[in-house]
Amino acid sequence: MDRYAVVGNPIAHSKSPYIHQWFAEQTGQSLMYEKILVEMTAFDEDVSGFFALGGKGLNVTVPFKEQAFRFADVLTDRARLAGAVNTLALQNDGTVMGDNTDGAGLVADLLVQDWPLSGRRILVLGAGGAVRGIIGPLLEQKPESLLIANRTVKKAMAIAEAFPGGAVGASSYAELEGGFDLVINGTSASLANELPPLPAGLLGAQTAVYDLMYGVGPTAFLRWATEQGVERCSDGLGMLVQQAAEAFYLWRGVRPDTAPVVERLRRLVNAG
Ligand code: ATR
């Protein structure tokens, strides 16, 4: 049976085995998918070992996405642009391809939820690994504007500069003014139950707000957005399922139906 896995550190919390098992059942694919805890210094060794023993593909999560980028023999354009890899796939010639399906997953989830991106003014908060992967795919949707704000402005500028023609802007939080159609929280602040220091009046009833994180109930950022009068809020659970569907397609050539898997995963997460 073809073997797949997700590698990370920590990894116990990962929901990817459920998602891929449900995709496999739904599409009649026969495969095994497990989670593997990789020690901080053992990524290359463990991943080489996995493929040497016949493994077909890996998902890669925190903190190894940059290492997976360096590990891959060949890269997709979107992985190169992101500077990070979340999916590795063994190819017929024995080489390992690195892809990044995070941004495509986010865009797919936004479109499924009927949040159009074309012609919209988009603000992305944060400039870490999570944000690097989503800027290219967001830009492909032809927003009116795309701005990255970060506590450390230099990091936002470094990401923006990778895109030609000034298509992506960079800003501090203090400089931000309102007027955005969509605000995406890509900071890890919600993990510590914190908020980026955003100016009052940034969000309004017309703003749609998305957090790349998810958990039981709304994140700190989504709770704050609701207090600001925002009506359209979403966490990143749909993105998680969509990025997995992109990886599944890359490995198996079959596109799973994501809606029932999102529903089932939501029930699982809420059950704790
Ligand atoms: P990830 O891979 O999850 O993106 P990361 O690369 O460590 O993790 O990036 C974390 C992001 O969250 C950064 O943009 C960080 O801001 P700085 O670059 O200024 O450090 C942001 N972040 C984390 N905690 C934050 C907080 N309490 N307020 C604002 N931004 C925060």
Q: List, for residues 14-61, the tens digit of each pLDDT value.
A: 999 999 999 999 999 999 999 999 999 999 999 999 999 999 999 999
Domain count, the chain: 2
Are both 86 and 192 inside the same structural domain?
no
Q: How confident is the model at residue 190 (pLDDT cuts 50, 70, 90)?
A: confident
Ligand 1 lined by 127 (C-beta under 6 Å): yes
pTM over 0.85: yes
Are both 216 and 157 inside the same structural domain?
yes
Q: Is the peptide bond before 143 cis (omega within 30 degrees of 0)?
A: no
- The residue to mutate among 100, 188, 191, having the most atoms of ligand 1 within 8 angstroms of its beta carbon, is 188
Query: pLDDT at residue 129 above 90?
Result: no
CATH number, domain with residue 224:
3.40.50.720
Are both 80 and 192 inside the same structural domain?
no
Are both 81 and 36 inside the same structural domain?
yes
CATH number, domain with residue 266:
3.40.50.10860
Give the residue whose CA is nearest to atom 29 of ligand 1. Answer: 196
Are both 142 and 159 inside the same structural domain?
yes
Are both 10 and 71 inside the same structural domain?
yes
Are both 68 and 147 inside the same structural domain?
no
Select which of 65, 142, 154, 155 is catalytic. 65
Kindly report, residue by residue over 221-264, the tens digit of the pLDDT: 999 999 999 999 999 999 999 999 999 999 999 999 999 999 99
Active site residue 65: yes
Please give the distance, rounded to the nearest whole angstrom, from the Cα atom of residue 235 to the centre of ligand 1: 17
